[in-house]
Amino acid sequence: MEDVLAHAEETVHPGMGAEQIALRAEGMRQNFGNMSVEQRAHWGNGQANIALGFLLLAAHGTGYDTSPMLGFMPDMVKELLKLPAHAEVAAIVALGRAAEEGFPHHRHAIERFVRFDN
C-alpha cells in the first residue's frame, strides 16, 4: 500500500487518459492517506487474500497445483526477497505440477455449515 500511494498514477490503467489518471490517483491518496501504515497494511492484506484466491484458481485452470502456506517467518521472507520493513507478507504459495496423485477431495456436505432460508 505504501508503494501504491507513492506511485498511484502508475496503478491506474493508462487507457483512461491523463485527466482520469490524475483524478483516480488523487482519490486513492485521499482514501488511504489518512490511514496509518498499519491500517493500510491490514486493508492491503485483505485485498491480497482475494487476489490469492484468484491466483490459485487461475493456476489450477492452467494445470498447475498449488499449496498456499502459513506458518512461515515473515521477517525472514522479507529479508530474502529484500522487501521494505512496512511490507506485509500475506501468504506464500508453492506452485508446480504434482509428481504423484494425492488423495481425492473430501468435503463436508454444504448443509453442515450453510443454512438456506426461503
pLDDT, tens digit, for every residue of 54-95?
999 999 999 999 999 989 999 999 999 999 888 888 899 999
Average pLDDT, the chain: 91
Residues 8 and 51 in one domain: no
| pLDDT surpassing 90 at residue 4 | no
Length of the chain in terms of residues written = 118
Residues 48 and 92 in one domain: yes
Residues 80 and 67 in one domain: yes
Query: What range defines the domain where residue 1 resides?
Result: 1-34
Residues 83 and 41 in one domain: yes
Quote the percentage of the chain above a pLDDT of 70.
100
Number of domains in the chain: 2
Residues 25 and 45 in one domain: no
Confidence of residue 18 (pLDDT cuts 50, 70, 90): very high
